[in-house]
Amino acid sequence: MSNQTELTQSKGNDAGNARRFSNAEALLRPAVDICETGEGIVLQADMPGVSKERMNLRVEGNNLVVEGSIGIAPQEQMTALYADVRSTVYRRSFSLSNELEMDRIEADLENGVLTVRIPKRAELRARRIEVTS
């Protein structure tokens, strides 16, 4: 995958696992489509304006956390008279089932759409059983 997003896994709630984004800033919730396939779960999040470098995707315990910031540089001597979107930070988290292989999560970002693939454990995947006569 050409634009793979880095995935980090943290165990527990480390104090050293500082948030990249300020909690004081209002957050945007990206629209997300979640589909189940025979191989696992596919999650697609709309995150326009977020680059690979500004994306933070991580597993915290049994939660998948998706964060990203829009690369808008504020102008020093300009103040917005009107703004549809005041926040530049997306954040969303998802509870993950024990049926999924969290160590094999793959993600890519293309044209503002983050696609995350979370495979099911091999013993839980659907399989075809051959019938003999």
Q: Residue 131: its pLDDT value, please?
A: 93
Geometric angle at alpha carbon 17, from 12 and 20, rounded to 5°: 135
Average pLDDT over residues 107-131: 90
Section 102-115 average pLDDT? 94
Give dist(CA 76, CA 102) in Å, integer.
43
Banded model confidence at residue 129, pLDDT cuts 50, 70, 90: confident
Are 67 and 20 in contact by the 8 Å Cβ rule? The answer is yes
Rounded CA-CA distance 20/53 in Å is: 12
Between 42-46, 78-82, 106-110, the lowest mean confidence (pLDDT) is in: 78-82
Which residues of the chain form beta strands (DSSP E)? 7-10, 27-28, 32-36, 40-46, 50-60, 63-70, 89-95, 106-110, 113-119
CATH number for the domain formed by residue range(s) 26-72+83-123: 2.60.40.790
Answering whether pTM is above 0.85, one says no
Closest CA to 30 of 7, 49, 9, 58: 49
Map out the domains of the chain as residue ranges: 26-72+83-123
End-to-end CA separation in angstroms for the chain:
44
**Is pLDDT larger for residue 98 or for residue 10?**
98
Q: What is the pLDDT of residues 49-90, one digit of tens each?
A: 899 999 999 999 999 999 998 866 666 777 777 766 666 889
The pLDDT of residue 73 is 62
pLDDT-derived band at 18 (thresholds 50, 70, 90) equals very low
